[in-house]
């Protein structure tokens, strides 16, 4: 495990490694052949350029979580509380 700051190019390399690993899995090839690999990123500043730095693949999509708001959680709390 690496400690300290992780650079944006390392994040893109890690996402590429995830994609290649998933595509090479026999279970993926058997059950999900032809499907898109989705990699979900949060909104950390280090992830801001992952899309631009990762090589493009037609069967890979990078998804971003919506920005966090402390008020979002309040909308999900049952009114009985």
For residue 50, with 0-12 CB atoms within 10 Å meaning exposed, 13-18 middle and 19 or more buried, which class applies?
A: buried
- With the C-alpha atoms ordered 9, 35, 42, 20, is the resulting torsion angle positive or negative? negative
Domain of residue 52 covers 8-76
Instruction: Tally the domains of the chain.
Output: 1
43 in a structural domain: yes
Residue 81 lies in a domain: no
Average pLDDT, the chain: 79
Residue 22 and residue 19: Cα distance in Å, rounded? 5
The model's confidence at residue 64, banded by pLDDT at 50, 70 and 90, is confident
Residues 4-43 pLDDT 10s: 556 777 888 988 999 999 999 999 999 999 999 998 887 7
């Amino acid at each position: 495990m690496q400690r300290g700051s992780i650079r944006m190019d390392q994040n893109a390399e890690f996402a590429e490694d995830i994609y290649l690993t998933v595509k090479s899995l026999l279970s993926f090839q058997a059950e999900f052949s032809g499907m898109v690999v989705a990699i979900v990123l949060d909104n950390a500043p280090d992830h801001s350029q992952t899309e631009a730095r990762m090589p493009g693949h037609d069967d890979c999509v990078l998804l971003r979580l919506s920005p966090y708001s402390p008020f979002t959680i309040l909308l999900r709390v049952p009114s009985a509380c």
